[in-house]
């Protein structure tokens, strides 16, 4: 059997899970269900399956350092293909299939969105083993989730006849769009329909041949973008302009929905029903459904007190959240925003995000705490002509050699030791010591020690935006 390569697609923005999920730090990077992020859980879900190799991830270029760090914390190695712009899942999978096929290899790809929850890992792995065997024989396989309610937020797959000689496997009859309530109830009652999971298993060559038959324009654009790109350590960079010109399409629309048409060049297909506690966690009510609850249906995380509440999800990222006498609510507190929504309206959270973007408010994109390849910073306070940040630099890491046109900076070391470059000087600053960086002076901050460096930065000047940075040298390849 060909080797198995997990392909993790991590391009979503998760706007319906605002304010925890932000465009620059979306839901797949967050630990929403347990201590692992959803991306880490997706990768770890394949552990123990025979023949599984290193994962291949496809993500937004802006998330590359966080994704790489989360892989490192799992103790995993794998290549990360960077998308300079989003072009939906079909081009993302095509980049992965082309890269996995280099040197004449033809692995079985297990394609998984990074932002799904699967509670029963054993059931999932058993289904993957069965699907991988079928895929190795040339089939395009998908998983259909056994429905337990007339869900209107998912697309559906209609099962065809049982696949000869394969218990629990069916031919693909058709894909259908998200139905209305009455139609969804009919699907549930018939027993012929499954929820479309967005999980696929097939050999790399099978996907590429099917795409060539259905969307040769996408295949050609992705092939050129990869050929014109480069490999930078664990990062695979595609050519920005070439990939930006690639048509956008989903795996379903580009190929999977055409597999029952009898079109020449398309592979045989199959669907495996899956009952494994799956959820795409598309909105807050979906997260509430998969979290552990008390006997009154409440789920909570963080510093939360609930009194006479029922069927409520309450999350605190810092401050105490107290709810009294409420039901069917979602309450989410972060350090810069609070969301209160009825369960039935959680799909409309995206409308709030759209309004925030229209008003150009950064809270739609950024958390107050912003992660960087060298560590993180937290915007503690801001006002006219000043802002205060708490900065943490990982051991051995350094910021870029840079300069600002519009602001000066005062650094106070709280713990650890800082190596500071200021103009032509290089010196150490220890705990309870400080230094001042005047406007226009080239500078760099480095942690030469073995413990994290924590410091307070006070900025002052006429303009304090993050784009007032001129980088002269950067360890992490940022412009």
* CATH number reported for the structural domain that contains residue 397 in this entry: 2.60.120.10
pLDDT of residue 166: 86
- Domain end among 229, 252, 279: 279
What span, in angstroms and rounded, lies between the C-alpha atoms of 18 and 317?
A: 13
- Parallel/antiparallel/unpaired status of strands 401-403 and 470-473: antiparallel
**Does residue 347 sit within a domain?**
no
- Domain end among 254, 279, 304: 279
**Does residue 158 sit within a domain?**
yes
289 and 270 in a common domain = no
289 and 274 in a common domain = no
**Does residue 358 sit within a domain?**
no
214 and 299 in a common domain = no
290 and 245 in a common domain = no
What span, in angstroms and rounded, lies between the C-alpha atoms of 306 and 326?
A: 9
Degrees, nearest 5: CA angle 439-397-465: 35
Domain holding 449, by residue range, is 369-473
What span, in angstroms and rounded, lies between the C-alpha atoms of 453 and 419?
A: 10
Task: Choose among 302, 298, 323, 325: nearest CA to 313.
Answer: 298
Q: Which residue, chain included where needed, has tokens 């792995």?
A: 125
333 and 264 in a common domain = no
pLDDT of residue 479: 66
**Does residue 352 sit within a domain?**
no
> Encoding tokens for residue 63?
């998330």
- Domain end among 234, 258, 279: 279
CB neighbour list of residue 183: distance below 8 Å, 6 or more residues apart? none
**Does residue 354 sit within a domain?**
no
CB neighbour list of residue 143: distance below 8 Å, 6 or more residues apart? 127, 131, 197, 199, 201, 271, 272, 273, 274
Burial 292-319 (b: 16+ CB within 10 A, else e): eeeeeebbbbeebebeebebbbbbbbee
H or E element that contains 284: helix 284-290
pLDDT of residue 146: 94
CB neighbour list of residue 204: distance below 8 Å, 6 or more residues apart? 5, 97, 98, 100, 101, 105, 106, 107, 109
What span, in angstroms and rounded, lies between the C-alpha atoms of 77 and 355?
A: 39
**Does residue 349 sit within a domain?**
no
209 and 81 in a common domain = yes
Task: Choose among 16, 11, 30: nearest CA to 367.
Answer: 30
Q: State the pTM of this model.
A: 0.90
Name the CA radius of gyration of the chain, rounded.
Answer: 25
CA distances from 64 to 11, 19, 288 (A): 11, 21, 29
Cβ(80)–Cβ(229) under 8 Å?
no
271 and 385 in a common domain = no
329 and 440 in a common domain = no
290 and 380 in a common domain = no
Give me the number of domains the chain comprises. 3
CA 58 to chain centre: 9
pLDDT of residue 346: 95
167 and 71 in a common domain = yes
Q: Quick one: residue 265, left, alpha or beta (phi over 0 = left, psi -120 to 50 = alpha)? A: left
> Encoding tokens for residue 41?
């859980």
What are residue 170's DSSP bridge partners?
Answer: 162, 271
H or E element that contains 89: helix 89-100
**Does residue 453 sit within a domain?**
yes
pLDDT of residue 478: 66
Cβ(135)–Cβ(263) under 8 Å?
no
CA 4 to chain centre: 22
Regions of the chain where pLDDT drops below 70: 478-479
303 and 266 in a common domain = no
- Helix or strand or coil: residue 244? helix
What span, in angstroms and rounded, lies between the C-alpha atoms of 349 and 343?
A: 11
The backbone torsions φ and ψ at residue 21, rounded to the nearest 5 degrees and listed phi first, read -90, 125
What span, in angstroms and rounded, lies between the C-alpha atoms of 260 and 250?
A: 17
CA 97 to chain centre: 19
Cβ(403)–Cβ(441) under 8 Å?
yes
**Does residue 116 sit within a domain?**
yes
Alpha-carbon torsion 253, 254, 260, 261, what sign?
positive
What span, in angstroms and rounded, lies between the C-alpha atoms of 176 and 165?
A: 27
What are residue 415's DSSP bridge partners?
Answer: 454
167 and 82 in a common domain = yes
The backbone torsions φ and ψ at residue 95, rounded to the nearest 5 degrees and listed phi first, read -60, -45
Cβ(348)–Cβ(2) under 8 Å?
no
Q: Which residue, chain included where needed, has tokens 């396989």?
A: 141
What span, in angstroms and rounded, lies between the C-alpha atoms of 49 and 36?
A: 20
What span, in angstroms and rounded, lies between the C-alpha atoms of 11 and 39?
A: 11
The backbone torsions φ and ψ at residue 354, rounded to the nearest 5 degrees and listed phi first, read -60, -40
What are residue 235's DSSP bridge partners?
Answer: 80, 232
């Amino acid at each position: 059997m060909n080797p198995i390569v997990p392909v993790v697609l991590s391009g979503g923005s998760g706007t319906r899970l605002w304010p925890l999920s932000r465009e620059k730090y979306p839901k797949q990077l967050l630990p929403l269900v347990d201590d692992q992020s959803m991306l880490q859980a997706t990768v770890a879900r394949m552990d123990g399956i025979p023949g599984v190799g290193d994962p291949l991830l496809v993500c937004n270029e802006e998330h590359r350092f966080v994704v790489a760090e989360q892989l490192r914390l799992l103790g995993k190695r794998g290549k990360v293909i960077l998308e300079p712009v989003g072009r939906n899942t079909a081009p993302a999978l095509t980049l992965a299939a082309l890269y996995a096929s280099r040197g004449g290899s033809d692995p079985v790809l297990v394609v998984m969105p990074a932002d799904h929850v699967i509670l029963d890992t054993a059931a999932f792995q058993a289904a993957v083993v069965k699907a991988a065997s079928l895929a190795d024989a040339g089939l395009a396989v998908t998983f259909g989730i056994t429905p337990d309610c007339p869900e209107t937020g998912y697309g559906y797959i209609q099962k065809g006849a049982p696949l000869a000689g394969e218990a629990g496997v069916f031919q693909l009859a058709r894909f259908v769009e998200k139905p209305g309530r009455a139609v969804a109830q009919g699907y549930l009652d018939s027993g012929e329909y499954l929820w479309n999971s967005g999980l696929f298993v097939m050999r790399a060559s099978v996907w590429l041949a099917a795409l060539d038959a259905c969307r040769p324009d996408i295949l050609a654009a992705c092939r050129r973008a990869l050929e014109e790109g480069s490999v930078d350590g664990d990062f695979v960079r595609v050519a920005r302009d070439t990939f930006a010109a690639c048509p956008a399409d989903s795996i379903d629309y580009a190929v999977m929905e055409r597999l029952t048409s009898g079109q020449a060049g398309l592979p045989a297909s199959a669907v495996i029903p899956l009952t494994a506690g799956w959820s795409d966690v598309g909105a807050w009510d979906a997260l509430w459904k998969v979290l552990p609850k008390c006997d009154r249906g409440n789920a909570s995380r963080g510093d939360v007190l609930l009194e006479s509440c029922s069927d409520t999800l309450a999350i605190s990222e810092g401050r105490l959240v107290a709810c009294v006498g409420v039901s069917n609510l979602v309450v989410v507190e972060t350090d810069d925003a609070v969301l209160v929504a009825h369960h039935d309206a959680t799909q409309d959270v995206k409308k709030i995000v759209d309004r925030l973007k229209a008003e150009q408010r950064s809270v739609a994109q950024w958390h107050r705490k912003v992660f960087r390849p060298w560590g993180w910073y937290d915007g503690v306070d801001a006002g006219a002509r000043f802002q205060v940040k708490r900065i943490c630099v990982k051991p051995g890491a350094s910021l870029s050699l840079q300069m600002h046109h519009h602001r000066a900076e005062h650094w106070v070391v709280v713990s650890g030791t800082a190596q500071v470059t200021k103009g032509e000087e290089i010196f150490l600053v220890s705990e309870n010591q400080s230094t001042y960086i005047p406007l226009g002076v080239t500078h760099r901050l480095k942690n030469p020690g073995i413990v994290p460096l924590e410091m307070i930065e006070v900025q002052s000047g006429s303009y304090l935006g993050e784009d007032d940075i001129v980088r002269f040298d950067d360890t992490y390849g940022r412009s």
